């Protein structure tokens, strides 16, 4: 078992027995540290023999940049003050898209909480909007991220805006999140 070369991640594993009996299972725990932001999910290569023939299985691990979020609580004043500070064009990523699923409030909240950031209640002046805040923790730096999701239930569309202290993170998170809604 090996991971494709991904210098943005430090992956540690514990050794496992080289022989697994038929019908048996083993568990392999991976500890993953984010060294710097990344865009591609790591690939896990598993090599084994079956019926005497060498087999190679490559799996895409469900590890995305948002897995390293730390939720950040803040007031409405602090959120919008920070929002204005992240005003460089490259710090913002925005996407307007049609809703892929229903626009149920509780489902939206669950998806936003699943992102790993803090869902901030009563922060946006428009009660229909959702705002989130978090910090992506990497070994080299902390990347502050603010999110604003504006649903338009009549048109069944969303406007998603992300502002992050690192532009590559804004773009990647925006693409990743738009797929969720």
Strand partners, 130: 149
CA distance 151 to 130: 8
- pLDDT for residue 3 is more than 80: no
Q: What average pLDDT does range 9-16 have in this prediction?
A: 85
E strand or H helix at 91, and its extent?
none
pLDDT at 181: 81
Q: How far is C-alpha 45 from the chain's CA centre?
A: 22
**How far apart are alpha carbons 74 and 123 in whole angstroms?**
9
Supply the pLDDT for residue 1: 62
Give pTM, 2 decimals. 0.83
The burial class, CB within 10 Å (0-12 / 13-18 / 19+), for 179 is exposed
Task: State the pLDDT at residue 163.
Answer: 97
Q: Is 112 helix (H, G, I), strand (E, B) or coil?
A: helix
Residue 41 is classified by DSSP as P
What is the per-residue pLDDT for 149? Answer: 96
pLDDT above 90 (res 52):
no
DSSP 8-state symbol, 79: H
151 pLDDT higher than 90: yes
DSSP label at residue 125 = S
* 4 has a pLDDT exceeding 80: no
Return d(Cα 93, Cα 159) in angstroms, integer: 11
Residue 5 has pLDDT above 80, yes or no: no
Q: With residue 83 as reference, give the H or E element that holds it.
A: helix 76-85
Q: Specify the pLDDT at position 160.
A: 96
Q: Are 129 and 150 in contact (CB under 8 A)?
A: yes
User: What pLDDT, in 10s, does the model give residues 88-127?
Assistant: 999 999 999 998 887 889 999 999 999 999 999 999 999 9
């Amino acid at each position: 078992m090996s991971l494709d070369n991904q210098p943005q991640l430090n992956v540690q594993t514990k050794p496992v027995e080289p022989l697994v009996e038929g019908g048996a299972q083993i568990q392999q725990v991976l500890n993953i540290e984010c060294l710097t932001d990344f865009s591609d999910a790591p690939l896990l290569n598993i090599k084994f023999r079956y019926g005497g023939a060498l087999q190679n299985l490559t799996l895409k691990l469900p590890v995305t940049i948002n897995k390293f979020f730390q939720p950040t609580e803040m007031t409405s004043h602090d959120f919008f003050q920070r929002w204005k500070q992240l005003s460089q064009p490259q710090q913002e990523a925005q996407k307007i898209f049609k809703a892929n699923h229903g626009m149920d409030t509780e489902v939206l909240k669950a998806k936003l909480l699943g992102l790993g950031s803090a869902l901030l209640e009563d922060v946006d002046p428009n009660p229909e909007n959702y705002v989130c805040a978090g910090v992506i923790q990497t070994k080299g730096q902390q990347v502050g991220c603010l999110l604003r999701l504006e649903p338009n239930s009549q048109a069944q569309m969303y406007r998603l805006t992300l502002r992050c202290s690192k532009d590559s993170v804004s773009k990647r998170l925006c693409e990743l999140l738009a797929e969720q809604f």
